[in-house]
């Protein structure tokens, strides 16, 4: 079965607006998981429907550790999204990923602490696989779009998610390089995990702004340096979204990620908490509908 694409774009630092979106309307979407970062911009680019959410809110008012990733993903699901294209500024942990280069990552190391990382829990337990945490199809489209927009892109890489809001110590930066991480940021986790639980294929385009602090012969990264490179990157990021829309197939064929909850739910029907199920009415809508009849 084929359907229409509805692309949710989560804009990171430096990407608070996408001018190319037409028929635009900012709409507040309520979530049982709390307040999303901002209203969602509904609109289209060509024939593709888009839902844009600035991750930190317009004006960059929400700190990384205070992001309500559950509300953000839940709100995008309620807004009808079929897939999520996330964009994020990162530090580079590799010489070949120079500031200004884009990276479409395919793996994560999660070092965040205390952030609610699941829609599920006591009353409705689920365990989704995160072995391959991004959508291969969506990531391929994203990488091609960066190139079409004139950007330099690395296809594949490991994102180290740190808590922040402080930048790394030099010791941490060297350690993360030893672990095999390629870029470092503060926001992609638990965002990617929650997208998977919501059965939303997810791709992450990272914009390298600096070399973190592992280069001993250079001064430590400062936010002013990050902002300068971010401004240079943001034009390509906005054009990437346009090229992404232009190159998508006319209709969307199903993804295996669309039905991951079929293999994740573990709580017996008679042990499920109705209050927990009620909060899952959007993120698990397909699964709830399919299992309402069979039980």
The catalytic residue positions are: 210, 212
Tokens of 45: 């680019």
E strand residue ranges, the chain? 6-11, 22-27, 40-45, 48-54, 83-92, 102-104, 107-110, 153-155, 158-161, 183-185, 202-210
Q: Which residues of 150-174 are buried (b: 16+ CB within 10 A; e: fewer)?
A: ebebbbebbbbbbeeeebbeeebbb
Going by the DSSP 8-state scheme, the letter that residue 289 receives in this structure is: H
> Contact at 8 Å (CB) between 153 and 103?
yes
Q: What 8-state DSSP symbol labels residue 269?
A: G
N- to C-terminal Cα separation, the chain: 25
| Sign of the C-alpha dihedral computed for residues 183, 98, 177 and 181 taken in this order | positive
Which tokens sit at 226? 């990050």
Q: Report the length, in residues, of the chain.
A: 295
CA distances from 68 to 170, 239, 273 (A): 29, 27, 23
* Token pair belonging to 85: 């294209």
């Amino acid at each position: 079965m084929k359907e229409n694409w509805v692309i949710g774009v989560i804009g990171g630092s430096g990407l608070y607006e996408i001018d190319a979106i037409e028929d635009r309307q900012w709409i507040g979407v309520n979530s049982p998981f709390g307040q999303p970062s901002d209203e969602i911009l509904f609109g289209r680019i060509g024939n593709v429907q888009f839902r844009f959410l600035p991750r930190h809110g317009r004006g960059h008012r929400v700190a990384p550790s205070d992001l309500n990733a559950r509300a953000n993903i839940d709100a995008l699901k309620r807004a009808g999204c079929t897939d999520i294209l996330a964009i994020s500024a990162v530090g580079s942990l590799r010489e070949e990923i120079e500031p200004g280069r884009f990276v479409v990552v395919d793996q994560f190391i999660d070092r965040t602490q205390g952030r609610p990382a699941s829609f599920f829990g006591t009353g409705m337990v689920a365990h989704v696989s995160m072995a391959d945490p991004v959508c291969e199809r969506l990531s391929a489209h994203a990488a091609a779009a960066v190139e079409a927009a004139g950007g330099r892109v690395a296809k594949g890489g490991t994102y180290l998610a740190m808590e922040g809001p402080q930048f790394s110590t030099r010791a941490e930066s060297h350690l993360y390089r030893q672990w095999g991480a390629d870029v470092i940021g503060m926001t992609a986790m638990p965002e990617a995990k929650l997208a998977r639980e919501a059965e939303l294929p997810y791709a992450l385009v990272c914009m390298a702004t600096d070399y973190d602090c592992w280069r001993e012969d250079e001064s430590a990264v400062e936010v002013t340096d990050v902002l300068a490179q971010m401004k240079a990157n943001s034009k390509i990021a906005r054009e990437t979204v346009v090229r992404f829309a232009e190159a998508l197939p006319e209709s969307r064929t199903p993804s295996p990620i669309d039905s991951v909850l079929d293999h994740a739910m573990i709580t017996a029907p008679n042990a499920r908490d109705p209050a927990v199920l009620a909060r899952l009415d959007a993120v698990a809508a397909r699964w709830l509908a399919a299992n309402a009849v069979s039980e």
